């Protein structure tokens, strides 16, 4: 899969003027506690947090939840015998612990910073449920032990958000974000069973870009024209793993088109700011009832132009 690496796009809309700045990836949300700013002048981080929440850019909805069907082409273990053959799986997150870090810069004459890059880190404590079959007498999802396999799913959800203000009394305005990084790897001891997304290629009209994540780097907005056919192709580290895409039409499995490559159509949605998410789940996560979950995904922000 050859394509140009990601590069700056057209001038960005006023709401998000994204700059290039790398912020180190936290090893684990669960290992960190909220960090106070190290700036000599006290900063009200509650105002920063409120501005980020109001922007919607750290919403839990960016992590695709609910039920995902496993029928159709693509899913299934390759070269191994499935212990469980689910028809679908479900995910939900009843609890999340939050850890925030702030890096301040561009101080004014009084020492008050006018710029901050906030690392939003959530340790999500959820569950993955394999649906082995539905009740023959009831076509709706039914909860019974003979049809379900429950697994813990503890995820690190991370995103960097840049904010600026005109002066120390002015409001904080979101001016940049990174991709969202989602990692689930519950103490798996193995060599090649860890889910790993290596790259994502987005093609839509003249746009042809290779996207990567994990560095939480503030980057340029992608632009897609409404009504333009779009294709997303993902490269996974393991050919047997299952790849999902979530866009305006929901979550579905991407068909395998070549070794380690999974590709399908992307539905951009209506005009405005949007996200699409690509995830890799290890085959043993879905097809083995005794193996812990392993999942790796990225959510990218883009603009659908009218």
Write the pLDDT tens digit of every residue in 59-70. Answer: 876 667 788 988
Identify whether 61 is part of a domain: yes
Identify whether 182 is part of a domain: yes
Identify whether 1 is part of a domain: no
| Residue 145 banded pLDDT, cuts 50, 70, 90 | low
Checking if the pLDDT of 175 tops 50, the result is: yes
Q: What is the pTM of this model?
A: 0.82
Write the pLDDT tens digit of every residue in 113-122. Answer: 999 999 999 9
Identify whether 67 is part of a domain: yes
Identify whether 135 is part of a domain: yes
Identify whether 23 is part of a domain: no
Identify whether 6 is part of a domain: no
Domains identified in the chain, total number: 1
Range of the domain at 60: 29-305
Write the pLDDT tens digit of every residue in 13-72. Answer: 233 332 222 233 334 565 443 344 444 467 889 999 999 999 999 887 666 778 898 864
Pick from 48-52, 130-134, 219-223: least confident: 130-134
Identify whether 2 is part of a domain: no
* Model pLDDT, residue 84: 79
Classify residue 281 by burial, with Cβ atoms within 10 Å: 0-12, 13-18, 19+. buried
* Angle formed at CA 192 by CA 190 and CA 23, multiple of 5 degrees: 95
């Amino acid at each position: 899969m050859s394509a140009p690496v990601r590069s700056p796009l057209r001038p960005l809309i006023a709401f998000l003027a994204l700059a290039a700045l790398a912020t180190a990836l936290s090893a684990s949300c669960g290992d960190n506690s909220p960090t106070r700013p190290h700036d000599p002048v006290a900063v009200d981080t509650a105002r920063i947090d409120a501005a980020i929440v109001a922007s919607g850019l750290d919403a839990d909805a960016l992590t695709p939840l609910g039920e995902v069907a496993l029928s159709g082409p693509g899913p299934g273990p390759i070269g191994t015998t499935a212990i469980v053959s689910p028809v679908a799986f479900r995910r939900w997150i009843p609890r999340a612990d939050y850890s925030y870090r702030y890096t301040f810069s561009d101080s004014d004459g009084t020492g008050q910073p006018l710029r901050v890059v906030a690392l939003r880190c959530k340790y999500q404590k959820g569950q993955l449920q394999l649906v082995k079959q539905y009740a023959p007498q009831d076509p709706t999802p039914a909860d019974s032990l003979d049809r379900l396999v429950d697994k813990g799913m503890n995820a690190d959800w991370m995103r960097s958000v840049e904010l600026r203000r005109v002066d120390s009394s002015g409001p904080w305005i979101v001016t940049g974000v990174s991709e969202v990084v989602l990692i689930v790897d519950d103490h798996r001891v193995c060599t090649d069973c860890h889910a790993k997304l290596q790259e994502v290629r987005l093609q839509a009209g003249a746009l042809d870009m290779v996207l990567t994540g994990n560095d939480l780097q503030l980057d340029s907005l992608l632009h897609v024209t409404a009504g333009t056919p779009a294709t997303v192709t993902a490269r996974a580290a393991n050919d047997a793993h299952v790849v999902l895409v979530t866009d305006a039409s929901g979550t579905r499995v991407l068909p395998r088109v070549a070794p380690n490559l999974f590709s399908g159509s992307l539905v951009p949605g209506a005009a405005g700011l949007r996200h699409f998410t690509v995830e890799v789940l290890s085959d043993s996560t879905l097809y083995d009832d005794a193996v812990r979950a392993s999942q790796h995904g990225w959510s990218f922000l883009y603009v659908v132009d009218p």
